[in-house]
Amino acid sequence: MALRCGWRHLALVLVLFLIIQFVFYFKPEAIESVRNVPAKFNYGGLNKKPTPAVAEDTGDVAADPHHPSRFVAKTTRENAAFVILCRNTDLDSIKESLTELEEKFNNRYHYPYVFLNEKPFTDEFKNSISEVVSGTTHFGIIPTEHWSYPPWIDQDRARQEREKMAKNHVIYGGSEPYRHMCRFNSGFFFRHPLLAQYDWYWRVEPSVKFPCIIDKDPFKVLRENNKLYGFTISIKEYPKTIPTLWNTTLKFMDEFPNHVSNPNMLKFIQKAGTNGTPEYNGCHYWSNFEVGSLNFFRSDEYLAYFDYLDRAGGFFYERWGDAPVHSIALSIFLDKSKIHWFEDLGYFHGPLWNCPKGEAHKRLQCTCEEKKSIETENPNWSCIKEFIRTPN
């Protein structure tokens, strides 16, 4: 009888223990919430403050002194995400990019990834990507109105202009999808609902390389130094792709002088014209790599500039790229103190390199050749010297 009572007491204790565990495990704080993204936003202007960094303990420094994780022990993660525009057919090339990015940086931070495509991503693509990255993944479809002709564009004229450019061997001159991509990256990527919750973005493309350890968080570098945009490579644009972009920009500045910052960075992108009017020197930040503030692009100033360009039709009648559009806008609306050159962040996008030099090359275990950096190998094409001598 006593033995039977003992077993009953033991069973009762076990049941109570399981109930307590169940209640604790499923309490609201332990359940990850899903954020509902609103359909419309009020972003404010260029002075909107970013969300404070979210604390994350990344653990102890690795015992191996050569392991990349030795660069970060405990850190904070910014309200930021990687943004990747690609297609299902880019799977292998984007996996190569992300494998290296994870090894050199994100395996210590676990920043999320936002993938965008004008068509749905396949399950194979999603599953393969999720196996490579350490951060959460989000896959989105680009709205049709962001990847199509606006109603004011004459599509027959656009086709004829593409054919002319193709005959003249203008780079990507005959490509229709390339134009949609440039327009999307110029005016719409930052409006996608999957990016609504973030303050910062880092653009990543297929087939790029990160040849060095990235020892500092680029998002944190920008926020802590009150900067809004960062780049690795700056070069001159092909003039035949943007015949009227600068004149259209001058008209915008004449019509909206209140949007032009004082001070600004117009000296970075201007050269003396033949009739005394400043001309565009072609300098731009190569936007296949860029780290920046989403709120800059959401600002009234930038949206007014993009809308003005979009109405002019140059994304389709010419071949305006997002790199000069971003760069000219940054030069109009910001001063140099808001722009950062990530000189020590190793990067390659064929055929150009940004390779750290001197002590940084050794410290960051770079596998690139210092002399291959564009500002060293081809200083006349590079715009680094123009950036450096632009006054603050």
Which ranges constitute the DSSP H helices of 300-383?
A: 300-312, 314-317, 322-333, 359-363, 374-377
Please, what is the Cα angle at 194 between 39 and 227, to 5 degrees? 105
d(CA 119, CA 103): 29
Instruction: Check the CA dihedral 363-364-365-368 and report its sign.
Output: negative
Cα 84 from Cα 102, distance rounded (Å): 14
**Please, which residues bridge with residue 280 across strands?**
270
Contacts of residue 67, Cβ cutoff 8 Å, sequence gap at least 6 = none
Indicate which residue of 161, 237, 290, 386 is catalytic: 290
How far is residue 92's CA from residue 113's CA, in Å, rounded to a whole number? 17
Q: Is 279 a catalytic residue?
A: no
Half-sphere exposure of residue 202, counting CA atoms within 13 Å on the CB side? 20
Residues 6+ away with beta carbon under 8 Å from 27: none
- Residues acting as catalytic residues: 290
